[in-house]
Structure 1
Amino acid sequence: MLRALMYILPIALTIYAVIDCLNTPEDEARHLPKIAWIFIILLFWIVGPIAWFAAGKMRRAPAGGRTPSEWHRNHRNEWVAPDDNPEFLKSLRDENKKDESLLKDWEADLRRREEELKKRDQGEDGEKS
């Protein structure tokens, strides 16, 4: 059991370090380019991942309050999610108002048609008697 742990733990640490390095934006990798860090992590089994965690990645929040998910959107650092954008929320409200007015028009048209059908049915019933 202990022998298996001696192999599994370094492998798990290496895999985690490689994934962490790959997911780190290029501008947050310190001292070396990311590709160099990947080679160091993979070539030096135990020392490489420890070096990456100790010196390879910026561990503080990036400037401007950027989050990692924002980096993946072509380095835009405006809005994290659509519901953070006031313009998007305003467009939703405007669309909602349009939809509500359209629905009211449809309901009014439906009521008018129902009344016409009722009048026609009452007229036909009056002619038959």
Structure 2
Amino acid sequence: MARVFILLFMLHVVLMAVALISCLSAEKRDVRALPRFLWVPVIVLVPIIGPVAWFLSRRRPILGGISPAGSPARPLGGPANRARPPAPDDDPDFLRDLDAEQAKRDRELFQRWEEDLRRREDDIRRRETDDREDQHRPEP
């Protein structure tokens, strides 16, 4: 039985610490129902129920997409009509530009390789021609 009490005490301490940190670091607009100076004693002095009440008070109620005040519900902390930009790997324009840039780099690399190959082939041909001419020259 002592283990259960120890476990409940540890749960209370951890929950209280997390709730206190959350309460003290919350934006002013996110502190609801009570002022912050009243939330701190409630969280500390009311075991388990105080921290749970803090977390439940921070949740914004959503009733069919309309909040109780009659305004459309919105995500916590964000403006009502702010669209989130898509992630780069979900943005087709970004992916298209990325593919175009990669294709351009590939073409430039391929052209450098071809130029290097032509230069090396020309050097080899020149050496072979010089070697043949040296072989056919009579020695003085």
Give the TM interval when normalised to the shorter protein: 0.5 to 0.7
Q: What are structure 2's unaligned runs of at least 5 residues?
A: 68-72, 133-140
Following the alignment from structure 1 to structure 2, what is the Cα–Cα distance between the partners of residues 112 and 8? 72
> 1:15: which partner in 2?
17
CA RMSD of the aligned region, Å?
3.4
> 1:107: which partner in 2?
110
- Paired AA for residue 116 in structure 1: R
How far off is 1:107 after superposition? 0.7
How far off is 1:114 after superposition? 0.7
**TM-score, with normalisation over the residues of structure 2?**
0.59
3-state secondary structure, aligned to 1:30: coil
**TM-score, with normalisation over the residues of structure 1?**
0.62
For residue 79 of structure 1, the aligned residue among 77, 84, 89 is: 84
- Rate the CA distance shift 1:33–1:104 in 2: closer, same or farther, 3 A: farther
Q: How does 1:1-129 map to 2 (within 5 A)?
A: 1-19=3-21, 21=23, 26-34=28-36, 36-54=38-56, 56-60=57-61, 63-64=73-74, 66=75, 71=77, 75=78, 77-79=82-84, 82-83=87-88, 86=91, 89-129=92-132
- Rate the CA distance shift 1:79–1:36 in 2: closer, same or farther, 3 A: farther
How far off is 1:48 after superposition? 1.8
Following the alignment from structure 1 to structure 2, what is the Cα–Cα distance between the partners of residues 100 and 38? 59
| Structure having greater relative contact order (Cα 8 Å, sep ≥ 6) | 1
Q: What are structure 1's unaligned runs of at least 5 residues?
A: none
CA contact 2:88–2:94 (8 Å) conserved in 1: no
1:50-77, Cα deviation, whole Å (9 max, x unpaired): 43245x222545823x3x5xx4xxx464
CA contact 2:15–2:51 (8 Å) conserved in 1: yes
Q: Which has the higher helix share?
A: 1
- Paired AA for residue 51 in structure 1: A
